[in-house]
C-alpha cells in the first residue's frame, strides 16, 4: 500500500511526521530525531522537587480531621505528657540557681537530660531485675523449654502434686443424673442417631461448587469433628444442640449448611427476605462471624448484614431495608431495629443460630431472647452451639426446639490438646501481690502475644496504666470503650504492634486471634465454664499455647476441676515466682501509686471537658434544628426503664457471682433480700369487688380485640410471606373471575359469623312467606 492511500479526517492528527518516516523508509535515507535523550541523565523520584522552595520547611504535614467526633483520649499521650512535665520539673529544680542563656546548646542539653530522666529510673530497675532474674531463674522460662530435662522433671513433679489433690475429690463436680432427668431428655431430644460415617473431606458432603470454592480459598480441606457431625444434619433442616472444644471450627459448622440451603432460595425482588439470623453475645464475636461468613460466601450472591451496637443506626437501617439473606446481630440492637425500623421483620426466617448459646440462655439475656423468639416464626430451624453447651431441658425449652439432635463432640468439657496449664499460688494474706506477680511474669517470661483477663473494667484500665508507666506496649478491651476503640485495640494486638492486651470477659467468648501465645488469668473465676472459655483463646485449631492462672486459697475447687479437664498428665504445671522478685516489684508498684492516681485524674478531667463540649454542641443543634429533631418519632423499647434497670442489675449480680466465693454481694448479708426480689403489689389490691369485676371485664374485652387484630395481621403476613427455602412458590390463584350464572354473591360477614343463607335466624318474616299464608288460610276457614 502506498503512503498516498492514507486519507486524513478532520479528527485525526497531522500525518506529516509519519509521511516523512514512510518516505525515508521507502527512500532508504535515515531520519534524524530532533529530541535526543542524554543517556547520562537520571531522574530522582525519591526526593521532593520543591525542597529548595521551602528551604527545609517541607517537613510540616497537613492536619486532617475526619468526621465530627473528637479523637479518643489516648493514655499513652497522657503518660508521655506527665513524664515530660516531671522531667522538666526536675531539670528546673536542678538549674534554678543558674542563669538563663546559651540558646540552642542549652535546649539540646535539656532534651538529652529529659530523655535520660524519663528512662533512667526504669532502665536501672529493669537491668537490676534482669540480674536478679539470672540468679532466680524461672523453672518455665519460655515456651520452647518443654524438651529440657530439668524443667520437665520439675513440672512433672509439681503436676503430680496437683493431681494428688484432684484425686482426693474425684466426685465433687460430676453429679449423676436421676432417672427422671434421663427420661425427660429422652423425650425432648431426637432419637435419630447421626450416621456413623466419618467425612474425611468436604467433597463427600454434597456441597455446591461455590461453597467448595470458598472453603478451598480459606484453606479448609478436612472437616473437624464438629463440622463433620453438624453439616449433614444442618442440611436436613433439623434442630441441633452442639458442643465442642474451643477452637474446633463451630462457626464454619453452622455457616456452611446455611449458605448451602440459601443457594436454593427463590430469587427476585418479591422473594427477597431475611431468612437466616445469627445471634451472638458480643460485638467483637459478631464482627468475626461476619468476616467468616463473607469469606465463605465470596463466590455466591448471598448478602450478609452486621447489626451490632456502637455502629451507625442509619447505615444499618439502609442495609436492612435491602432485606439481606443473613443477619448477624447482638440482641439489643436487633430488638431496636425490630421495633423502630418499619422495613425490617423476621416473618420469613428459616434458620436461627445462637452462638455461645449457654451465655445467651442465661438470665442476663432472658428478656431480650424471649422478645426475639416471639418475632420468629415457629416453623424454623434452630441451632445452638457453645464450648460449654448445656443439655438441661429446663433451659433449652425456652427456644421452642423441635426434637433437636444432640451433637456433643466434647461431652467432658476438656481443654485443647496443645494447651499447657500453669498455676501460680497466691498465699493467704498476700492477695495484694497479684499485680506484682502479673508484672513479674510479663517482664521476665512472657513478653509478646499475651492476653490478660481481669474481672472488672476498672482493674483492666488501672493495669493498662501501670504497664504504660513501665514502658510496656499495652492496650485494653472492655465495655467502657467505644466500638472504634475496641476494634482498634484488637487490630493492634492482632498485628503484633502491641504485646499485651488487658481484657475483661468480653474477649473470652469465641474470639479467634492469631498470635496469642499466652493467656494469663489475674484471678480464677468460680465457674469452670468461664475458665474454659478464657484459656480457649490460645492453642486453637491444633496449635500450641499456654495459660497461667493466679490461684488463691479459695479457688481450690475450680482448680481441681480444671486439672481433671487437662488433655494429658504433663500438661499441668506449677510455676513458682521467687519471693524476692515479687517483693521488689511490689515496692516498685507502691512507688507508682501517686503517678497512677495523677494519670487517672488527668484522664477524668479530659473526659469531663469532652462531655462539656458535647453538651454545648448538643444545645446548639437543638436551638438550630429544633423542629427537625422533635419531628422524628421517639425510639421505643419493649421494657420500661425500671424493668431494663432490673435486668441490668441481675446480669451484673450474675457476673459478680462468678468471682465471689460466698453468697454475700455488695456488702449485704447472705440472707437478706434485695429490692428487686421483694414481692410486687398486686394490681387488684385496694379495689372493691365491683371495680375488680369491671377491670377484669375490660381486660377481657381488650384481649379479645387484640386477639382478633393479631389474627388478621398474621393472616396478611402469611399471605405476603415468601416460600420456604427449596419449596417452589405457589402460582397466583385467579380469585377475581366472574361467574356465568346469575347467582347472588354473599357478603363477607356471613362467612365470618358462620351464618348460612338458608338459615335466616333473627330476620323478620315478610308478608309473602309460606307460614303467613297458611295462617291466613286457616283463619278464612
pLDDT (mean) for 624-629: 89
Nearest in space to 560 (alpha carbons), one of 653, 674, 423: 423
DSSP codes joined into one string, 90-123? HHHHHTTTSPP--THHHHHHHHHHHHHHHHHHHH
What would the pLDDT profile of 250-302 be if each residue is shown by its tens digit?
Answer: 999 999 999 999 999 988 777 889 999 999 999 999 999 999 999 999 999 99
Helix (H, G, I), strand (E, B) or coil at 386: strand
Dist. CA 255–CA 42, nearest whole Å:
57
Lowest mean pLDDT among 120-129, 443-452, 567-576, 639-648: 120-129
pLDDT at residue 62, as a whole number: 47
pLDDT class of 33 with cuts at 50, 70, 90: very low
- Contact assessment for residue 421 and residue 253, using Cβ atoms and an 8 Å cutoff: no
How many CA atoms, within 13 angstroms, populate the side-chain half-sphere of residue 599? 26
Q: Which CATH architecture has domain 415-591?
A: 3-Layer(aba) Sandwich (3.40)
Predicted local distance difference test score (pLDDT) of residue 568: 77
Q: Mean pLDDT across the stretch 9-31?
A: 46
Q: What per-residue confidence (pLDDT) applies to 84? A: 78
HSE-CB at 523 with a 13 A cutoff on CA atoms is: 22
Which of 219-233, 501-515, 655-669, 720-734 is least confident?
655-669
The predicted pLDDT at position 718 comes to: 79
* Closest by Cα among 594, 544, 540 to 420: 544
Of residues 9 and 470, more confidently modeled: 470
The Cα–Cα gap between 208 and 297 comes to: 11
Retrieve residue 669's grid coordinates.
448479708
Mean per-residue pLDDT for 76-97?
A: 72
Q: What percent of the chain has a predicted confidence (pLDDT) above 90?
A: 43
**Given this model, what pLDDT does residue 137 score?**
41
Mean pLDDT comparison of 2-16, 57-71, 363-377, highest-scoring range: 363-377
Asked whether 551 and 426 are in contact (CB, 8 A), the reply is yes
C-alpha 590, offset from chain centre: 36
- pLDDT tier at 388, thresholds 50, 70, 90: confident
Q: What percentage of the chain exceeds 70 in pLDDT?
A: 68
Classify residue 136 as exposed, middle or buried by CB count within 10 Å of its CB (0-12, 13-18, 19+): middle
Q: Which residue has the cell 431428655?
A: 185
What pTM was estimated for this model as a whole? 0.70
Least confident of 125-134, 192-201, 613-622, 706-715: 125-134
Q: Give CA separation, 541 vs 383, 421, 443, in Å.
A: 22, 17, 28
* pLDDT band, very low/low/confident/very high, at 397 (cuts 50, 70, 90): confident
pLDDT for 509 beyond 80:
yes
Q: In what order do the strands lie in the sheet with 351-355?
A: 304-307, 326-329, 276-279, 351-355, 381-386, 240-243, 405-408
* Mean of pLDDT values over 686-707: 86
Does the pLDDT value for residue 24 go beyond 90? no
- Indicate if the pLDDT at residue 559 is higher than 90: yes
**Structure confidence at residue 405 as a pLDDT band (50, 70, 90):** very high
| Confidence at residue 90, expressed as pLDDT on a 0 to 100 scale | 63
Structure confidence at residue 98 as a pLDDT band (50, 70, 90): low
Is the distance from CB of 274 to CB of 314 less than 8 angstroms? Answer: no
User: CA-CA distance, 209 to 229, in Å (whole number)?
Assistant: 20
Query: How close are the terminal C-alpha atoms of the chain, in Å?
Result: 127
417's enclosing H/E stretch is none
Compute, in degrees rounded to 10, the torsion defined by CA atoms 481, 487, 493, 497: -100
Instruction: Count the Cβ atoms, other than its own, within 10 Å of residue 655.
Output: 17
Per-residue confidence at 645, pLDDT binned at 50, 70, 90? confident
The alpha-helical segments, DSSP class H, found in 31-148 are: 51-54, 75-94, 104-135
Would you state the pLDDT for residue 732? Answer: 56
Return the sign of the alpha-carbon dihedral for residues 305, 311, 314, 317: positive
Range 431-443 average pLDDT: 95
CA distance 262 to 272: 11
DSSP annotation of 404: -
pLDDT > 60? residue 449: yes
Contact criterion met (CB below 8 Å) for 729 and 723:
yes
Of 158-167, 493-502, 521-530, 569-578, minimum mean pLDDT range: 158-167
Cβ count within 10 A of residue 636: 8
State the fold for domain 188-408. Answer: Rossmann fold (3.40.50)
Report the SS3 class of residue 278.
Answer: strand
Closest CA to 305 of 283, 282, 281, 322: 322
pLDDT (mean) for 559-570: 85
- What is the DSSP code (8-state) at residue 56? T
Q: Burial code of 743-768, b = ≥16 C-beta within 10 A, e = fewer?
A: eeeeeeeeeeeeeeeeeeeeeeeeee
Average pLDDT score, the chain: 77
The segment(s) of the chain belonging to CATH 3.40.50.300 are 188-408, 415-591
The values of phi and psi at residue 382, to 5°, are -120, 130
From the CA atom positions of the chain, what is the Rg in Å?
37
> What gap in Å lies between CA 10 and CA 705, rounded to an integer?
81
Q: Residue 329 pLDDT more than 90? A: yes
Does an H or E element contain 243, and which?
A: strand 240-243
Predicted pLDDT of residue 566: 86
> Judging by beta carbons within 10 Å of its beta carbon (0-12, 13-18, 19+), is residue 658 exposed, middle or buried?
middle
Query: At 701, phi and psi to the nearest 5?
Result: -65, -45
The pLDDT of residue 400 is 84
CA angle 714, 716, 718 (to 5 degrees): 65
The pLDDT tens digits of the residues spanning 654-693 come to 777 766 654 333 333 334 444 444 555 667 777 888 888 8
Amino acid at each position: 500500500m502506498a503512503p498516498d492511500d492514507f486519507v486524513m479526517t478532520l479528527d485525526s492528527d497531522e500525518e506529516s511526521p509519519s509521511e516523512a518516516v514512510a518516505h525515508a523508509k521507502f527512500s532508504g535515507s535515515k531520519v534524524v530525531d530532533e529530541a535526543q535523550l542524554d543517556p547520562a541523565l537520571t531522574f530522582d523520584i525519591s526526593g521532593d522537587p520543591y525542597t529548595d522552595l521551602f528551604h527545609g520547611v517541607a517537613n510540616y504535614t497537613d492536619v486532617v480531621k475526619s468526621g465530627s467526633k473528637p479523637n479518643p483520649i489516648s493514655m499513652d499521650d497522657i503518660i508521655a505528657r506527665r513524664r515530660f512535665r516531671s522531667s522538666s520539673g526536675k531539670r528546673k529544680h536542678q538549674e534554678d540557681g543558674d542563669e538563663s542563656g546559651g540558646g540552642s546548646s542549652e535546649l539540646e542539653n535539656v532534651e538529652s537530660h529529659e530523655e535520660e530522666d524519663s528512662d533512667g529510673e526504669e532502665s536501672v530497675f529493669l537491668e537490676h531485675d534482669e540480674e536478679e532474674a539470672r540468679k532466680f531463674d524461672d523453672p518455665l522460662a519460655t515456651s520452647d523449654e518443654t524438651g529440657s530435662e530439668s524443667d520437665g522433671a520439675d513440672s512433672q513433679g509439681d503436676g503430680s502434686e496437683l493431681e494428688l489433690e484432684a484425686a482426693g475429690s474425684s466426685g465433687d463436680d460430676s453429679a449423676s443424673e436421676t432417672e427422671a432427668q434421663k427420661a425427660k431428655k429422652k423425650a425432648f431430644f431426637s432419637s435419630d442417631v447421626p450416621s456413623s460415617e466419618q467425612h474425611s473431606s468436604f467433597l463427600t458432603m454434597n456441597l455446591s461448587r461455590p461453597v467448595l470454592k470458598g472453603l478451598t480459598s480459606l484453606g479448609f480441606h478436612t472437616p473437624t469433628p464438629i463440622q463433620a457431625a453438624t453439616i449433614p444434619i444442618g442440611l436436613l433442616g433439623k434442630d441441633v444442640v452442639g458442643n465442642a472444644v474451643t477452637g474446633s471450627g463451630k462457626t464454619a459448622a453452622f455457616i456452611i449448611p446455611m449458605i448451602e440451603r440459601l443457594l436454593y432460595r427463590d430469587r427476585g425482588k418479591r422473594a427477597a427476605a431475611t431468612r437466616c439470623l445469627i445471634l451472638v453475645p458480643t460485638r467483637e464475636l459478631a464482627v468475626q462471624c461476619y468476616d467468616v461468613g463473607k469469606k465463605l460466601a465470596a463466590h455466591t450472591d448471598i448478602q450478609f448484614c452486621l447489626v451490632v451496637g456502637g455502629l451507625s443506626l442509619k447505615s444499618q437501617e439502609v442495609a436492612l431495608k435491602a432485606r439481606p439473606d443473613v443477619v448477624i446481630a447482638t440482641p439489643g440492637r436487633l430488638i431496636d431495629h425490630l421495633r423502630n425500623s418499619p422495613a425490617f421483620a423476621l416473618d420469613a426466617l428459616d434458620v436461627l443460630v445462637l452462638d455461645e448459646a449457654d451465655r445467651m440462655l442465661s438470665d442476663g439475656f432472658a428478656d431480650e431472647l424471649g422478645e426475639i423468639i416471639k418475632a420468629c416464626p415457629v416453623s424454623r430451624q434452630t441451632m445452638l452451639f457453645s464450648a460449654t453447651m448445656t443439655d438441661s431441658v429446663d433451659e433449652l425449652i425456652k427456644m421452642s426446639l423441635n426434637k433437636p439432635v444432640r451433637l456433643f463432640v466434647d461431652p467432658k468439657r476438656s481443654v485443647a490438646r496443645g494447651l499447657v496449664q500453669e498455676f501460680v499460688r497466691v498465699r493467704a494474706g498476700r492477695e495484694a501481690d497479684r499485680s506484682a506477680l502479673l508484672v513479674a511474669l510479663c517482664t521476665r517470661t512472657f513478653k509478646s502475644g499475651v492476653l490478660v483477663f481481669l474481672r472488672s473494667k476498672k482493674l483492666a484500665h488501672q493495669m493498662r496504666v501501670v504497664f504504660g508507666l513501665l514502658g510496656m506496649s499495652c492496650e485494653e478491651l472492655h465495655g467502657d470503650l467505644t466500638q472504634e476503640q475496641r476494634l482498634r485495640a484488637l487490630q493492634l494486638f492482632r498485628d503484633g504492634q502491641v504485646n499485651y492486651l488487658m481484657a475483661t470477659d468480653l474477649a473470652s467468648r469465641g474470639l479467634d486471634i492469631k498470635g496469642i501465645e499466652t493467656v494469663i488469668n489475674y484471678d480464677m473465676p468460680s465457674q469452670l465454664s468461664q475458665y474454659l472459655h478464657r484459656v480457649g483463646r490460645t492453642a486453637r485449631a491444633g496449635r500450641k499455647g499456654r495459660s497461667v492462672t493466679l490461684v488463691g486459697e479459695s479457688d481450690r475447687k475450680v482448680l481441681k476441676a480444671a486439672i481433671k479437664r487437662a488433655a494429658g498428665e504433663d500438661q499441668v504445671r506449677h510455676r513458682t515466682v521467687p519471693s524476692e522478685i515479687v517483693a521488689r516489684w511490689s515496692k516498685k508498684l507502691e512507688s507508682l501509686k501517686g503517678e497512677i492516681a495523677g494519670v487517672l485524674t488527668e484522664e477524668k478531667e479530659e473526659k469531663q471537658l469532652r462531655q462539656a463540649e458535647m453538651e454545648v454542641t448538643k444545645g446548639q443543634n437543638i436551638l438550630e434544628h429544633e423542629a427537625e429533631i422533635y419531628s422524628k418519632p421517639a425510639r421505643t423499647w419493649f421494657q420500661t426503664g425500671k424493668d431494663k434497670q432490673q435486668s441490668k442489675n441481675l446480669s451484673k449480680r450474675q457476673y459478680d457471682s462468678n468471682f465471689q466465693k460466698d453468697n454475700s454481694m455488695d456488702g449485704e448479708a447472705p440472707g437478706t433480700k434485695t429490692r428487686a426480689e421483694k414481692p410486687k403489689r398486686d394490681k387488684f389490691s385496694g379495689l372493691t369487688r365491683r371495680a375488680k369485676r369491671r377491670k377484669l371485664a375490660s381486660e377481657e374485652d381488650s384481649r379479645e380485640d387484640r386477639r382478633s387484630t393479631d389474627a388478621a395481621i398474621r393472616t396478611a403476613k402469611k399471605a405476603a410471606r415468601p416460600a420456604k427455602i427449596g419449596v417452589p412458590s405457589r402460582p397466583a390463584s385467579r380469585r377475581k373471575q366472574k361467574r356465568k350464572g346469575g347467582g347472588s354473591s354473599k357478603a363477607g360477614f356471613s362467612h365470618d359469623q358462620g351464618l348460612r343463607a338458608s338459615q335466616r335466624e333473627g330476620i323478620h318474616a315478610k308478608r309473602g312467606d309460606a307460614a303467613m299464608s297458611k295462617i291466613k288460610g286457616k283463619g278464612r276457614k
